[in-house]
Structure 1
Amino acid sequence: MTDISATHVVPSRPVADRAARTRLAYLDGWRGLSIALVLIGHFFPVPGINLGVLGVEFFFVLSGRLMGEILFIERYPLKKFFKRRFSRIYPALLVFVIVAMVALSGTFIAFKWKAALTALTFTYNYAGILVTRAGALDHIWSLCIEEHAYIILALISVIVSSRSRVVVLLLALALLAMANGAVSYWVFGMGYEATYWRTDVHIASILLSASICLLKADGRLPAVFRGKHVALAASICAVVLFLDRVPTPIHYLFAVPLLALAVNALDFSPRYLTGLLSSWPMATLGLWSYSLYLWQQPFYKFVYEQGSAPIPMLAGVFVCALCSYYVIERPAREWLNRNW
């Protein structure tokens, strides 16, 4: 998924309006953990829990925290924010969609130009439910939600000036989205994809994390949530609540808020946890995570639908993703940021 810089606003006073941003390696590691869960869940599934779905939630709550810092605390210029988001996301996505369409045409993954178009316009999460879809693009639903969240949060940052009001609004919208998901799933009998691919449901993960981030920055996060072991305990509880035997809406009503708390409480965690997340393997996975996320889907489909051996397919993921990162993603981002 997308890689907003894993930085953190370090306040010099209770309200962090004067803040310097320093890079926190353990947030890169959290992103690395997210993509690791997705890859394990897809290529080496663990009975009783969908680690791929859980990994997506790890991505979402991290994005919520970082967007909260960038848009509401640092007040990053929106023009520059969207330019950098475009340069980071679109070149690699465009190449992936084109290569996948050409390479997979005629295979069991039937490609449709409408599906490709909706992926490139970030409408796949709705079009995939209502209009058309292609198996190798199914993961784009989560990228769509993140892009929609950029726009919604940016609009809120312009319209609402008071951070206290922003927190209230974010929490209210998150609760509405969570309720929307529960009603869609339980009352109207919609399936997982018809419910939780939708931005009007799944954006709750990002909004909750952003609101907790702002409460923390303003010194209003209750002390009980700032303990040394809160991040680890909340993460473990969230994983338990994501077990298959737990009803799906419970995952998003209770487990996701725990993950949103966990990613924000990392700042208070002991060295053994932040050190593990900051380690070279985890941080490097985080660096490659967007390209890995893009390219894992078609290989996963070969394993899931064709019974291909998972280890060679996973190796193929890394080959394609590293080529994407070092040949497309990073050079394109640097060139666009330098010249645009």
Structure 2
Amino acid sequence: MRRTTRPDHRPVVAGPSGRDRLPSLTGLRFWAALVVVLYHLSRQVGEVPWVSAATWYGRSGVTFFFVLSGFVLAWTYDGRRVPVKVFLWRRFARIWPLLAVTTALSVVAYAVLGTEVSVRAVAATLLLANAWLPDPVLLRGGNPAAWSLGDEAWFYLLFPLLTAVPWMRSARGRLGVAVAVCAALPAVWLCGAVIADPVVRSWALGYFPVTRTPQFLLGVVAGLAVARGWRPPLRPGAAVALVAAWHLALVPWSQAVPEALWYGPYQASQLLSAPLFALLVAAAAHADLHGRRTGLAGPRSIRLGHWSFAWYLVHEIVIRLWTGAHGRPVGLVATAQVWLLVIAASLALSAAAYHWVEHPLERRLRGAGPRPAPAAADLGAARSGAGRGAATGAG
């Protein structure tokens, strides 16, 4: 892996392709998607000892993607003058085509199972507005996984404003923002104590775009810091160990405190993990930039990372079709077999979706939309590919 230099003299890694300038982050996307898949398998199909205990709160993988999204966008667009309309069009091209196709697939799955589908919920999903109200029908009525893309759309609208904040331009200012965000995350979690309705509490802490914004903001701060020379305090291996230790610590917590209580580990697993994920992403990116091996940047890891966005959006549909047709399996062997079948089928479907829908439609839409001035395009050419992977489920 070799390094080149940007016009501002900061190193830019020359990765395997123009799309993967930070290849370890592409590899991490797959592992984050995997823990989300295992989370849904454990809760909707059946538990597998040890694996289910470790991934029982794997929905925190969505938090990882929110942090990763902010990091990649900040790292990609730092120092570039790209018109807001160009930026937003690129983000639309990145997430919406696959959202539309998988939502249609989800509606077909509901129809096959004889489940009524709300037209209002499908419309809210396609308009990226389904996470703004505490309505379970809106959140799950189109494609249940797509709520996070509504949050991402909100982040994309905020991103040009966040990068224009004066505090983001200095190391001291970014440190202040990071400290404020890290303090805000447990404060948000503690707010669950005053929300009596469990449905509203779940939405307010787990889905509401405003509540999720600090996670994205922390990623933006980390991305700008790394782009401007900050060296994370941990190597990637140590950061992975820290994230794993956090999730293992949730196991005894879950045994001691029911999830229904506000101080249970469910919401904490999503809110309090953001600083750990920011350290992990920053450490992996810094290693890539300086040519160090991470074990996450091989061709197979990158390929799986490319499929991760589609996998995130389709795996629950496959689970729903199987359990709707056959019910939950009985016994460990049968459960493990269904797990393997669902993983293999959904991953194969994700590969097809990436190669035949996601990637080609993104390229066509980007080519058909507005473009930046040549100078702005040249300034960020070495890093523009990284920004195309910043969607939820895709990193």
TM bucket (normalised to shorter chain) is 0.7 to 0.9
Q: Give yes or no for contact 2:59–2:270 (8 Å, CA) kept in 1.
A: no
Residue 245 in 1 paired to residue 253 in 2? Answer: yes
1:119–1:55 Cα change, 3 Å: same
Q: Percent identity?
A: 23
Q: Give yes or no for contact 1:288–1:322 (8 Å, CA) kept in 2.
A: yes
Aligned to 1:143: 149
* Residue identity opposite 2:281 in structure 1: V
The 10-residue stretch of structure 1 (268-277 or 233-242) with the greater mean CA deviation from structure 2: 268-277
1:173–1:229 Cα change, 3 Å: closer
Structure 1 distance, partners of 2:83, 2:238, is 33
Structure 2 distance, partners of 1:215, 1:89, is 26
Aligned-residue offset at 1:116: 0.6
1:73–1:172 Cα change, 3 Å: farther
**Given the alignment, which residue of 283, 287, 300 partners 2:319?**
300
- Structural mapping, 1:153-302, within 5 Å: 153-158=159-164, 160=166, 163-164=169-170, 165=173, 168-169=176-177, 172=180, 175-176=183-184, 178-183=186-191, 185-189=192-196, 190=198, 191-219=201-229, 225-227=233-235, 229-243=237-251, 245=253, 247-248=264-265, 249-252=267-270, 254-268=272-286, 274-302=293-321
Structure 2 distance, partners of 1:154, 1:241, is 37
Aligned to 1:33: 31
Please report the TM-score for the alignment, with normalisation by the length of structure 1: 0.81
Q: Give yes or no for contact 1:38–1:52 (8 Å, CA) kept in 2.
A: yes
- Residue by residue, what CA displacement relative to the aligned partner does 1:45-100 show, whole Å, maximum 9, x if unpaired? 53334253132223222112112213445454433222221112111111222232
- Residue by residue, what CA displacement relative to the aligned partner does 1:237-262 show, whole Å, maximum 9, x if unpaired? 33234447253344245432111111
SS in 2 for 1:52: coil
Aligned-residue offset at 1:103: 4.2
Structure 1 distance, partners of 2:162, 2:246, is 29
The 10-residue stretch of structure 1 (108-117 or 312-321) with the greater mean CA deviation from structure 2: 312-321
Q: Give yes or no for contact 2:131–2:138 (8 Å, CA) kept in 1.
A: no
Structure 1 distance, partners of 2:157, 2:224, is 18
- Residue by residue, what CA displacement relative to the aligned partner does 1:189-233 show, whole Å, maximum 9, x if unpaired? 444344211112222222112212333344456x7x145654233
- Residue by residue, what CA displacement relative to the aligned partner does 1:169-195 show, whole Å, maximum 9, x if unpaired? 565456445523331x22324443442
Structure 2 distance, partners of 1:312, 1:252, is 28
Structure 1 distance, partners of 2:125, 2:296, is 31
SS in 2 for 1:286: helix
Please report the TM-score for the alignment, with normalisation by the length of structure 2: 0.71
SS in 2 for 1:126: coil
**Given the alignment, which residue of 46, 49, 52 partners 1:47?**
52
Structure 2 distance, partners of 1:244, 1:121, is 40
Aligned to 2:91: 85
What are the ranges of 5 or more consecutive residues in structure 1 without an aligned counterpart? 1-8
Residue 329 in 1 paired to residue 358 in 2? Answer: yes
- Residue by residue, what CA displacement relative to the aligned partner does 1:120-165 show, whole Å, maximum 9, x if unpaired? 1111123463663435622112222122111112222245485134
Q: Give yes or no for contact 1:109–1:134 (8 Å, CA) kept in 2.
A: no
Structure 2 distance, partners of 1:194, 1:304, is 29
Structure 2 distance, partners of 1:137, 1:302, is 13
Pick 1 or 2: higher relative contact order, CA cutoff 8 A, min separation 6. Answer: 2
Aligned to 2:130: 124
1:130–1:98 Cα change, 3 Å: closer
Aligned-residue offset at 1:113: 0.8
Aligned to 1:6: none
* Residue identity opposite 2:220 in structure 1: A
Structure 2 distance, partners of 1:72, 1:57, is 22
**Given the alignment, which residue of 58, 67, 75 partners 2:73?**
67
Structure 2 distance, partners of 1:302, 1:64, is 33
1:163–1:188 Cα change, 3 Å: same
1:321–1:105 Cα change, 3 Å: same
1:97–1:254 Cα change, 3 Å: closer
* Residue identity opposite 2:226 in structure 1: K
1:267–1:325 Cα change, 3 Å: closer
Point out the structure with max Rg over C-alpha.
2
What are the ranges of 5 or more consecutive residues in structure 2 without an aligned counterpart? 15-20, 255-263, 330-337, 370-395
Structure 1 distance, partners of 2:317, 2:134, is 16
- Residue by residue, what CA displacement relative to the aligned partner does 1:273-331 show, whole Å, maximum 9, x if unpaired? 94421123321111111111111121223456632634433343234323322222122
Alignment coverage as a number of residue pairs: 327
Q: CA RMSD in A?
A: 3.4
